[in-house]
């Protein structure tokens, strides 16, 4: 029975918990700064599981983030979401404050931590540095979602079934992300030159990059959540089932891509129990590679801006280990 903790059960956290109800052998532990709301959602989800016949999925609400420390996977989705006209970077300071607080409470955990809070590459970097877990145990969700948007745009332009498409997006989860046209396969086949021309003329790159902003605009308040929830679910299952699945995730690079280090960004990885087992470099053309480098560079000033949160954590010294545990979770 794998224990999944969800920190922040707003739109994405709620949709994720609901989607995970249909999976066997999981126990869900919900925490939100709005404790009563998390308790309400846990109760609602338990009743939903009974009605849908999904049986004994256990859903609990916790009174403290520390109660999730013994989970196998903790998904961190706590934070502000974009509003129309905002880019993800505008969330940086408010969400760095929240992620730092969550990291402090989780210090000492042995869970694999999946970060969703935006701007996700920098929040993944921050969580990685603050938790100081072995390599691969902190991983960000972004490219799984971006690829869903990429494939959806390709399918519409080419008028083909989206589920027969695969395609890769690398780099930062911002407007500089790099959807790789060379990576697209349709039922395993590369595209014809005519199909590639149609995609370029149809603006597939721009549509992919603007996929999130477009939904923010349409919703009028908040950002996408069904797509992000399904993308996180895919990653959670890859971890709990030890799938060794090749997926694109945000992870702190270790010198890959001609020496990139100390930055988290989207790259193919092998995902299984305990998180990222291996970073797999995507082979790119020189043009694609220079776009990738530009995308990575876009994250450097964000990294500089969160330095204060890292310094504050060092100044605080070792965090006192308060015994927590899913046993303390309250219904
Ligand atoms: P929302 O519905 O507002 O839920 C966020 C939840 O976090 C709320 O219920 C808050 O009460 C809770 N929260 C705030 N501070 C804390 C805290 N300290 N501890 C625990 N809970 C807290 O937002 P959402 O679910 O739509 O989005 C959540 C985050 O995901 C935002 O930062 C979004 O920008 C981000 N997001 C990322 C992607 C990616 O692809 C990476 C996509 C969409 C949204």
Q: What domains appear along the chain, each with residue ranges and CATH number?
A: 2-141 (3.40.50.720), 143-308 (3.90.110.10)
As annotated, the active-site residues are: 173
CB-ligand 1 contact for 98 (6 Å cutoff):
yes
pLDDT value at position 329? 55
pLDDT value at position 315? 65
pLDDT value at position 32? 98
- Pocket residue to mutate for ligand 1, from 223, 224, 247, 302, most atoms within 8 A of Cβ: 223
pLDDT tens digits along 208-253: 999 999 999 999 999 999 999 999 999 999 999 999 999 999 999 9
Distance 9 CA to ligand 1 centre (A): 8
Q: Whose CA is nearest to atom 23 of ligand 1?
A: 81
CB-ligand 1 contact for 82 (6 Å cutoff):
yes
* Angle at which helices 143-158 and 226-240 cross, to 10°: 120
Distance 78 CA to ligand 1 centre (A): 4
CB-ligand 1 contact for 78 (6 Å cutoff):
yes
pLDDT value at position 78? 98
User: Partners of 152 in the beta sheet?
Assistant: none
Distance 190 CA to ligand 1 centre (A): 37
Phi, psi of 28 (to 5 degrees): -110, 135
pLDDT value at position 207? 96
What are the structure tokens assigned to 229, written together?
Answer: 């929830």
Q: Which atom of ligand 1 is nearest to the CA of 145?
A: 40
pLDDT value at position 81? 87
Residues of the chain with pLDDT under 70: 55-57, 314-331
Q: Quick check: 146 and 208 in contact, CB under 8 A?
A: yes
CB-ligand 1 contact for 225 (6 Å cutoff):
yes
CB-ligand 1 contact for 120 (6 Å cutoff):
yes
Distance 140 CA to ligand 1 centre (A): 14
DSSP string, 35-87: HHHHHHHHHHHHHHHHHHT----EEEE-SSGGGGTT-SEEEE--S----TT--
């Amino acid at each position: 029975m794998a224990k999944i903790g969800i920190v922040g059960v707003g739109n994405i956290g709620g949709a994720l918990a609901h989607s995970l109800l249909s999976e066997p052998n999981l126990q869900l532990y919900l925490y939100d700064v709005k404790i009563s709301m998390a308790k309400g959602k846990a109760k609602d989800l338990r009743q939903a599981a009974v009605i849908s016949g999904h049986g004994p999925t256990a859903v609990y609400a916790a009174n403290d983030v520390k109660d999730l420390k013994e989970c196998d996977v903790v998904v961190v989705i706590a934070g502000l979401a974009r509003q129309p006209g905002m880019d993800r970077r505008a969330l940086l300071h408010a969400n760095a404050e929240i992620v730092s607080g969550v990291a402090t409470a989780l210090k000492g955990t042995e869970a694999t931590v999946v970060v969703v809070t935006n701007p996700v590459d920098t929040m993944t970097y921050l969580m990685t540095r603050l938790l100081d877990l072995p390599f691969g145990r902190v991983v960000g969700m972004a490219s799984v979602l971006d690829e869903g948007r990429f494939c959806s745009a390709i399918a519409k332009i080419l008028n083909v079934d989206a589920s027969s498409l695969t395609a890769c997006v690398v780099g930062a989860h911002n407007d500089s992300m790099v959807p790789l046209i060379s990576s697209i396969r349709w039922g395993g086949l590369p595209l014809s030159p005519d199909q590639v021309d149609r995609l370029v003329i149809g603006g597939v790159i721009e549509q992919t990059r603007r996929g999130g902003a477009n939904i923010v605009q349409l919703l009028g308040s908040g950002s996408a959540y069904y797509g992000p929830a399904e993308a996180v679910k895919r990653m959670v299952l890859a971890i709990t089932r030890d799938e060794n699945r090749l997926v694109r995730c945000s992870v702190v690079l270790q010198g890959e891509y001609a020496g990139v280090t100390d930055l988290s960004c989207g790259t193919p990885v092998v995902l299984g129990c305990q998180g990222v087992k291996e970073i797999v470099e995507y082979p790119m053309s020189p043009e694609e590679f220079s776009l990738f480098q530009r995308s990575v560079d876009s994250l450097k000033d964000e990294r500089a801006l969160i330095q204060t949160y890292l310094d504050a954590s060092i100044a605080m010294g070792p965090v006192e280990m308060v015994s927590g545990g899913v046993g303390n979770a309250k219904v």
